[in-house]
């Protein structure tokens, strides 16, 4: 089942299944930051108005805007 970052609440975890069609440059940026298929992530915080979202992966935290992170295809773990 494909999820997006908007489907997860703080404390929930998921694995990156791949990327949706979208901005190639932004996808390359995510890959360079370590957001690669197969990596597990956990939502740590969500801003009061829902944007941005902080995720933890590979021993660091990363903050993404929900609209930009919509390119991620996730599967719940």
User: How many structural domains is the chain composed of?
Assistant: 1
Residues of the chain where predicted confidence (pLDDT) is lower than 70: 1
pLDDT at 1: 65
What is the extent of the structural domain holding 60? 5-76
User: Residue 51 sits in a domain of what CATH number?
Assistant: 2.30.30.90
Q: What is the pTM of this model?
A: 0.85
Measured CA to CA, the distance from residue 69 to residue 53 in angstroms comes to 9
| CB atoms inside a 10 Å sphere around CB 58 | 13
Q: What is the DSSP code (8-state) at residue 52?
A: S
User: What is the token pair recorded at 37?
Assistant: 């298929």
- The secondary element (H helix, E strand) that includes residue 29 is helix 24-32
What is the sign, positive or negative, of the torsion defined by CA atoms of 16, 18, 19, 20? Answer: negative
């Amino acid at each position: 089942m494909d999820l997006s970052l908007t489907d997860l609440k703080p404390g929930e975890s998921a694995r990156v299944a791949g990327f949706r069609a979208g901005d190639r440059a932004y996808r390359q940026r995510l890959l360079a930051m370590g957001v690669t298929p197969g990596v597990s992530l956990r939502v740590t915080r969500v801003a009061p108005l829902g944007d941005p979202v902080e995720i933890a992966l590979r021993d660091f935290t990363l903050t993404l805007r929900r609209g930009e992170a919509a390119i991620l295809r996730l599967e719940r773990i």
